Structure 1
């Protein structure tokens, strides 16, 4: 698949934002994420510098071999460079786990779910139904002695149950915070990939622009 045209003999690259470039590489070109380790390193989550990964894959600027993974076709060499760059996400931004997440989301054409519009609501944890409809259930949390006066002047003491309705918040505020931290971590990793691809200058037919997904879209 070729992106470029020619105007007066000049190659024109196709401009893509980093998210669009990732989706093209992993979803359209079906590039595979390879996470090689140096021989003396076996620690889980080791992050590689961009230079190490690109030198391993591109041999000091030589053409990168394609067609190793895409079934029934050729994997574009620019897609291989993009995949190699993702593999180099450093530990400070999530390392191998983040690289896998970035690749999987791009392959599915998805953006991390930051739970738009989510507002914690107080809801009962026990719900019961009867002929009158749905209502909150209650549990016994204690007992109390109360004085009950009958028809006459004499009073009697009875033990009565104290009932309470257990509640929770759904979605929980911590769940919303975790989803939005996950989006922010992904966004920062995309920024690192974008800067690496622009600075590396190794893409032949794709030009990665400065365009990024919206930062913290929940802050409007």
Structure 2
């Protein structure tokens, strides 16, 4: 059974950014992600998804029942609306995979790691230690004849194999993943604002920075800097 909404009690709605709202829904309220079945599976026998039910209840002016997933506790109806909206992330923004990622990050209270301050560093492939300290491992890459004390001798030409860590592909990949998350988060924000289905929560326009690595020092950016 649902509790009286803030609107019904005449109280002001609680303002949240979309990231705060997702963390509240999944981390605090323990809302569950109800993903729709694959489109190639016949609908018969699977019933309607949670998002469809929520939309129908909203059209009829009904409240959403809580307590479905938190044993012995009430799951706020707004948390279920938020979870249903996340489940509807379209395929062009990542679909089910992105919906799961949004929910998992929100449950953990995390923002995707965009590798703040990361730059490719040239490092030895291997190191070895002796009594004089650590030294980069070298390998023979050729031979040269050199004149030493009037005699020609063959000497090894050695070089130190190197690697770049992190390499630029890793950095670019992490930042593309952050931008994908940011786009999906914006879609959820717009859907919640335009849907007007939340009773006690009001979603603000605030978003994390779209590219927090731009204009930042090597020390990185704050976790939730806003635009």
Name the TM-score, length of structure 1 as normaliser: 0.84
CA separation in 2, counterparts of 1:25 and 1:112?
Answer: 18
More strand by share: 1
CA RMSD of aligned residues (A): 2.1
C-alpha deviations, 1:111-159, integer Å up to 9, x for none? 1111111121111111111111112110112223334444xxxx3x433
**Structure of larger gyration radius:** 1
Matches within 5 A, 1:86-165: 86-150=86-150, 155=151, 157-165=152-160
Residues 189 and 205 in structure 2, CA contact (< 8 A), matched pair in contact too: yes
Q: Tell me the secondary structure at the aligned position of residue 196 of structure 1.
A: helix
Tell me, yes or no, if structure 1 residue 4 matches structure 2 residue 6. yes
- Report the CA distance shift for 1:2/1:169 in structure 2 as closer, same or farther (over 3 A): farther
Query: Which residue of 1 is the match for residue 66 of structure 2?
Result: 66
Q: Tell me the secondary structure at the aligned position of residue 11 of structure 1.
A: coil
1:64 shift after superposition: 2.0
Query: Which residue of 1 is the match for residue 51 of structure 2?
Result: 54
Gaps of 5+ in 1: 43-51
Name the TM-score, length of structure 2 as normaliser: 0.82
C-alpha deviations, 1:78-100, integer Å up to 9, x for none? 10000000000011111111100
Tell me, yes or no, if structure 1 residue 85 matches structure 2 residue 88. no
Residues 138 and 164 in structure 1, CA contact (< 8 A), matched pair in contact too: yes
Query: Which residue of 1 is the match for residue 174 of structure 2?
Result: 179
Q: Tell me the secondary structure at the aligned position of residue 183 of structure 1.
A: helix
Query: Which residue of 2 is the match for residue 13 of structure 1?
Result: 13
Residues 3 and 206 in structure 1, CA contact (< 8 A), matched pair in contact too: no
Q: Could you tell me which of 160, 166, 176 is aligned with 2:161? A: 166
CA separation in 2, counterparts of 1:18 and 1:138?
Answer: 53
CA separation in 2, counterparts of 1:109 and 1:72?
Answer: 24
Q: Tell me the secondary structure at the aligned position of residue 114 of structure 2.
A: coil
CA separation in 1, counterparts of 2:28 and 2:157?
Answer: 62
- Report the CA distance shift for 1:60/1:142 in structure 2 as closer, same or farther (over 3 A): same
1:2 shift after superposition: 8.1
